[in-house]
Structure 1
């Protein structure tokens, strides 16, 4: 039997319930972390003066981009989609990378520590889900 669309290679209907539950829990945890990160990045971006320094503008743009990437990843993970496993892996890895870049940028911006931590949490959740997909 082949895996259902959106499920990892080793998860087929007769697969153990425990393996399926872990996959779904990791997927949900990743989606939830993406939602929290999108919210934190959107708030952080709105607090940065768009007429500020070049660094502040980079923080604002990256915050907006991270929010959009996390939102799109969350929507993809929450759908019972017809996307293939490789497509899901690419999307989640992209989200992980953007979150890490955003966290590093927020680290350089006073007052953004909480948003940086949220980005790192999301990147960790994405990495855990990617590990499940292997």
Structure 2
């Protein structure tokens, strides 16, 4: 492996890591906003969607923090956090799919899940 290849791989890793962190931030905002719009005295299904939104916002926020830290992280820790984020985002997107007005939040969740998948592929490279 040449040093140029190593540099290119490092740049790709950092770009994907940043893109994932940025998608997590956007998803956290969208989910927190969506959760705040749900009537807390609504149906059990609305409460489930509100809780999913809150949980997704928290997981995305935590993932963004992990991705933003520079020191003391190993690949296994990153992988577990990002895989968890991807799973929660997909579950939340599915929950939002059944609720009119939640399309933008579902889209943000799917984009975050895709960014997580892209970053995980960088780890596998």
Partner of 2:50: 60
TM-score, normalization: structure 1? 0.88
Q: Does 1:98 align with 2:93?
A: no
Partner in structure 2 of residue 32 of structure 1: 22
After TM superposition, give the deviation of residue 62 of structure 1 in Å: 0.4
Q: Please state how far the C-alpha of 1:14 moved relative to its aligned partner.
A: 8.5
Q: Which residue of 2 aligns with 1:120?
A: 110
Gap runs ≥5 in structure 1: 1-12
Q: Distance in 2 between matches of 1:83 and 1:14?
A: 24
Q: How many residues align?
A: 122
Per-residue CA distance 1:27-62 (angstroms, 9 max, x = gap): 000000000000000000000001100110001000
Rounded to whole Å, the distance in 1 between the matches of 2:71 and 2:52 is: 28
In structure 2, runs of 5+ residues without a counterpart are: none
Matches within 5 A, 1:36-55: 36-55=26-45
Higher relative helix content: 2
1:106 Cα deviation from its structure 2 partner: 0.2
How many Å separate the matches in 1 of 2:87 and 2:71?
Answer: 23
1:55 & 1:83 partners in 2: Cα distance?
A: 38
2:62 pairs with 1:85: no
Q: Distance in 2 between matches of 1:124 and 1:49?
A: 29
